[in-house]
Amino acid sequence: MGLHVTLQGLAGLLLLLYALPWAEGGKVLVFPVEGSHWLSMRDVVRELHARGHQAVVLAPEVTLHIKGEDFFTLQTYPVPYTRQGFRQQMMRNIKVVFETGNYVKTFFETSEILKNISTVLLRSCMNLLHNGSLLQQLNSSSFDMVLTDPVIPCGAVLAKYLGIPTVFFLRYIPCGIDSEATQCPKPSSYIPNLLTMLSDHMTFLQRVKNMLYPLALKYICHFSFTPYESLASELLQREVSLVEVLSHASVWLFRGDFVFDYPRPVMPNMVFIGGINCVIKKPLSQVCIFKLSVFYAEYIF
Backbone angles phi, psi at 228, to 5 degrees: -70, -25
Please report whether residue 38 resides in a domain.
Answer: yes
Q: How many domains does the chain have?
A: 1
Q: What is the pLDDT of residue 166?
A: 95
Q: What is the pLDDT of residue 22?
A: 47
Provide the phi-psi class of 24: left if phi over 0, else alpha when psi is between -120 and 50, else beta: beta
Beta pairing partners, 75: 58
Please report whether residue 9 resides in a domain.
Answer: no
- Tens-digit pLDDT profile for residues 98-121: 665 566 666 677 777 777 788 888
Q: What is the pLDDT of residue 15?
A: 47
pTM of the model: 0.79
Please report whether residue 202 resides in a domain.
Answer: yes
Q: What is the pLDDT of residue 244?
A: 93
Quote the CA–CA distance of 285 and 295 in Å, as a whole number: 16
Q: What is the pLDDT of residue 103?
A: 60
Please report whether residue 7 resides in a domain.
Answer: no
Beta pairing partners, 58: 75
Mean pLDDT in order along the chain per 10 residues (301 residues): 47 46 76 88 92 94 89 92 77 62 66 79 92 94 94 94 94 81 81 78 88 78 86 93 92 82 82 76 64 47 43
Please report whether residue 5 resides in a domain.
Answer: no
Q: Could you tell me which of 181, 182, 183, 178 has the C-alpha nearest to residue 193?
A: 178
- CATH code of the domain containing 169: 3.40.50.2000
**151: DSSP letter:** T
Domain residues for the domain of 95 are 21-300
CA dihedral 276, 281, 282, 287 (to 10 degrees): -130
Please report whether residue 26 resides in a domain.
Answer: yes
Please report whether residue 61 resides in a domain.
Answer: yes
Q: What is the pLDDT of residue 49?
A: 94
Quote the CA–CA distance of 73 and 57 in Å, as a whole number: 6
CA dihedral 2, 8, 12, 13 (to 10 degrees): 40
Quote the CA–CA distance of 212 and 47 in Å, as a whole number: 41
Count how many Cα atoms sit within 13 Å of the Cα of residue 240 in the half-sphere of its side chain.
22
Please report whether residue 93 resides in a domain.
Answer: yes
Quote the CA–CA distance of 126 and 230 in Å, as a whole number: 11
Quote the CA–CA distance of 208 and 215 in Å, as a whole number: 12
- Tens-digit pLDDT profile for residues 218-271: 777 777 888 999 999 999 999 999 999 999 999 999 888 766 677 778 888 998
Backbone angles phi, psi at 256, to 5 degrees: -145, 180
